[in-house]
Amino acid sequence: MIHFLVLNCEIYILLHLLKLLIIGVIVQSSLIELKYRILIFRIIINFSCLILGFGMFIIYKGFTYEAILLNYSIVCDHFSFYFKFMTLLTSFLVIMFCTDYCEDENIKSFEHIILILFSILGLLTIISCFDLVTMYLGLELQSLCFYILTNVKFYSDFAVEAGLKYFIIGALSAGILLYGCSLLYGGTGVTSFLDLTILFYTVDVHIFLYYQYYMILLGIFLIYIGILFKIGIVPFHMWVSDIYQGAPSHISFFFAVVPQISIISLLLRLNNIFIYIFLKPLFWFFMILSLLTIIVGTIGAIYQTKIKRILAFSGINNMGYILTMILTLNIESMYGIIFYMIVYNITTITLWVLFMSFRDISNLAPIEDIKDIMLLYKSNKYLTILFFIALFSNMGIPPMLGFFGKLFVILNLWKLQMYFFALFLILLNSLAVIYYLRLLKIMYSTTLDKWICIKDIGEWKANFLILFVYLNIFFIFYPNYFLILIHNIVIIVFS
């Protein structure tokens, strides 16, 4: 029983989730007045941040313990501890930054915060999964919460449409994933990742029967397709821009940052099992998909006029870069993936917080179209500078932090002697600069007689944004501590 203590973070979050749900229902049903409902909503958000903060402390203290539980269906190792900590930290920042947005948009339902916490519990399950069944249950737990979260603003036709699209496409991806798991189980007779690892590393798969070998290979491909649906890899990206545009901005912010961490950890864990055995077909599979993802993420955003759609295609583009490093599982690629995920979280959080903070001071209306940020620098020069630096980092312009993330990708491909692929990525990144420069042109050089005045974002939020911008600018002067930290994480993970 003592081994179950390695799951104390998940148990702690689940118990407090049930407590928050009961307290919220009882108190809000008895306090009908609007001002008290807003008070309960703020209290629920504060308690949620405390739960996630203490969850990070629990994971940090339990980092030295490892165990495989529930008949080899859940694993708690250094790999899962790191990605769990990263998930909780990112979720904490997202929920904290969304408080003002919910009040401005008059979103008072505390239930969607509870659903966010349940989805985080599903993401933690995905990170610790060590069986096909556990993997499917974790993915479905977070997906079911996401379907409802997309439709938080149920009075909006766009939100209802986005929720319906997400449900249909999510059900399709779940069916593909489950069919792939059934084919893999039918070909091997096992579902545990440990059993699959032992089978593929001790038995030559080419001695299998003809139909059995291709049944296993097809099952693996379908499993990867079902998983890649979740992070919007091309050609499974058709839902991303529509869902981001239709869902409330704080929910789109959560979708853009948090789920990618657990999905990338799952892909890395599956690659430990499959990629060395089915190296050639999986290599071409990942290479083609990553190339298509970067192309679509680059070209698709050029003609967009909605800022959320531009951020959606930017996220697709970044997932393509990460997928290129999943082509091979070595120390360099693991180092690059962890570094790129940290860089992606810093730059994406900065852009989304700035975007949600852009509001017309006259009517508190959110700014969603690129024409609304015309002459932004005349309204708020400091916000414009922060937005300018975040965009430059996302472009990969040196010496910003985003440049080093993409540099690791190029160097890893160059070391693998994939010269044409590396040069093509450099060309595509140069093309992606176009839609970022268009935003900068609109903010600085558009001529208008009248411009929108932006609401003040508040002192505490400005301090966090300045910290993120500081990391983007001054990383080149103090990189050693940051790189040594990632180096130690990689060594612990691979140990």
**Per-residue pLDDT reduced to its tens digit, 184-219:** 998 888 888 988 888 888 877 767 767 788 888 899
Minimum mean pLDDT among 213-227, 249-263, 416-430: which range? 416-430
- Given its phi and psi angles, is residue 15 left (phi above 0), alpha (psi -120 to 50 degrees) or beta? alpha
Residue 361 has pLDDT above 90, yes or no: no
Local confidence band at 301 (pLDDT 50, 70, 90 cut-offs): confident
Structure tokens at 195: 């059993």
Could you report the per-residue pLDDT of 69-115, keeping only the tens digit for each? 878 888 888 888 888 889 999 999 988 888 778 877 777 777 888 88
Query: What was the pLDDT predicted at 26?
Result: 73
Query: To the nearest whole percent, how much of the chain has pLDDT over 90?
Result: 13
Q: Bridge-partner residues for 359, per DSSP?
A: 366
| Cα–Cα distance, 91 to 385 (Å, whole number) | 26
Query: What was the pLDDT predicted at 34?
Result: 54
Query: What was the pLDDT predicted at 469?
Result: 81
Local confidence band at 263 (pLDDT 50, 70, 90 cut-offs): very high
pTM (2 d.p.): 0.91
Average pLDDT, the chain: 82
Structure tokens at 495: 């140990």
Structure tokens at 46: 């504060």
Structure tokens at 178: 């489950």
Q: Kindly state the average pLDDT of the residues 263-276.
A: 86
Query: What was the pLDDT predicted at 212?
Result: 82
Query: Comparing C-alpha atoms, which of 360, 321, 332 is closest to residue 450?
Result: 360
Residue 65 has pLDDT above 90, yes or no: no
Query: To the nearest whole percent, how much of the chain has pLDDT over 70?
Result: 90
Query: What was the pLDDT predicted at 18?
Result: 85
Could you report the per-residue pLDDT of 465-476, keeping only the tens digit for each? 888 888 888 778
| Cα–Cα distance, 395 to 403 (Å, whole number) | 7
